């Protein structure tokens, strides 16, 4: 009887142990499933976090690139403005030699010499006494319109009854003595025209005079060239250039 009771007790104990083990195993399964679920949610969260971070990073990169583009454009604009300002200053802080005016001074006869007369009134003289007119005199005024002196100012002049190749002849001609022209200063450049050319210009033909003035300033060189046409008693500028 005692043996049977012990067997029953032992069997009951084994059953309770098995049941306890099953309960533990079931709990472990539940915990493992929960852990897997949590791991899955953690993976999803990490994916969204990385995606959101990547999106933020790309947006930051685009914003930085756009800002860099704007900065480059601003730098280019600043450089262009600086160059424009430098060019304006350079254009102001230099001499500029150019034409001021042209006037008649008078004429010269064979016997009476030079007669000053801005009107070139050849009938105002005693032609029987003075004889024929040999040439007419004109004066071409130039001025330094710039802010610095024009150093080593040299003049070239060519007269011609034709404008063909006049510029080439002018640039190849021999310059005069160098001079210094201060800012605002005016100087005359006198020249004579043979009387026959003036007579011809009064009868439909033309007569041309070309001037080329070269000068220096601060290691740089400048020039002013012009061609004037005399026709029917009037002077007209047909070419002018400077630099």
DSSP string, 162-182: --TTHHHHHHHSPP---EEE-
- In the chain, the DSSP E strands lie at 97-109, 113-116, 133-144, 150-160, 179-181, 186-194, 207-217, 220-231, 234-242
**Average pLDDT value over all residues in the chain:** 81
Is residue 170 pLDDT above 90, yes or no? yes
Q: Which two tokens stand for residue 222?
A: 């400048």
Residue 180 CB neighbour total at 10 angstroms: 12
Report CA-CA distances (Å) from 199 to 118, 192, 205.
17, 14, 9
pLDDT tens figures, 40-78: 666 655 555 555 666 667 777 788 788 878 878 887 887
Is residue 142 pLDDT above 80, yes or no? yes
What is the pLDDT, as a whole number, of residue 70?
A: 85
pLDDT tens figures, 95-126: 999 998 889 899 999 999 999 988 888 888 88
Pick the CATH number of 97-242 from 3.40.50.2300, 3.30.390.30, 3.90.1650.10, 2.60.40.10: 2.60.40.10
pLDDT tens figures, 216-241: 999 999 999 999 999 888 899 999 99
What is the pLDDT, as a whole number, of residue 148?
A: 96
Gap between the Cα atoms of 158 and 225, Å rounded:
11
Is residue 27 pLDDT above 60, yes or no? no
Residue boundaries of the structural domains of the chain = 1-92, 97-242
Q: Is 113 left (phi over 0), alpha (psi -120 to 50) or beta?
A: left
Interacting residues of 31 by C-beta distance below 8 A, sequence separation 6+:
none
Q: How confident is the model at residue 1 (pLDDT cuts 50, 70, 90)?
A: very low
In angstroms, the first-to-last Cα distance of the chain is 138
What is the pLDDT, as a whole number, of residue 5?
A: 53
Tokens 């059953």, residue?
15
Weakest-pLDDT range from 2-11, 94-103, 125-134 = 2-11
Gap between the Cα atoms of 229 and 112, Å rounded:
28
The predicted model gives 131-159 an average pLDDT of 95
CA-based nearest residue to 127, from 141, 111, 140, 116 = 111
How crowded is the C-beta side of 38, counted as CA atoms within 13 Å?
A: 6
Is residue 4 pLDDT above 60, yes or no? no
């Amino acid at each position: 009887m005692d043996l049977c009771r012990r067997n029953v007790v032992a069997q009951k104990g084994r059953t309770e142990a098995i049941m306890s083990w099953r309960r533990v195993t079931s709990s472990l399964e539940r915990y493992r499933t929960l852990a897997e679920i949590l791991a899955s949610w953690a993976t999803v969260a990490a994916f969204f976090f990385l995606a959101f971070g990547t999106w933020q990073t790309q947006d930051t990169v685009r914003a930085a690139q756009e800002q860099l583009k704007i900065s480059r454009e601003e730098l280019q604009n600043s450089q262009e403005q600086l160059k424009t300002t430098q060019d304006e200053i350079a254009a102001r802080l230099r001499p500029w030699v150019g034409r001021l005016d042209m006037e008649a001074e008078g004429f010269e006869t064979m016997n009476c010499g030079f007669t000053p007369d801005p009107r070139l009134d050849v009938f105002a003289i005693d032609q029987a006494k003075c004889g024929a007119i040999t040439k007419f005199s004109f004066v071409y005024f130039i001025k330094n319109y710039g802010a610095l002196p024009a150093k080593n100012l040299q003049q070239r002049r060519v007269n011609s009854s034709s404008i063909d190749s006049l510029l080439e002849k002018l640039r190849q001609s021999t310059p005069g003595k160098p001079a210094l022209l201060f800012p605002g200063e005016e100087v005359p450049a006198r020249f004579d025209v043979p009387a026959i050319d003036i007579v011809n210009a009064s009868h439909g033909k033309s007569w041309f005079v070309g001037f080329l003035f070269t000068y220096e300033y601060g290691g740089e060189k400048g020039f002013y060239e012009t061609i004037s046409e005399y026709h029917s008693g009037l002077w007209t500028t047909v070419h002018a250039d400077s630099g």
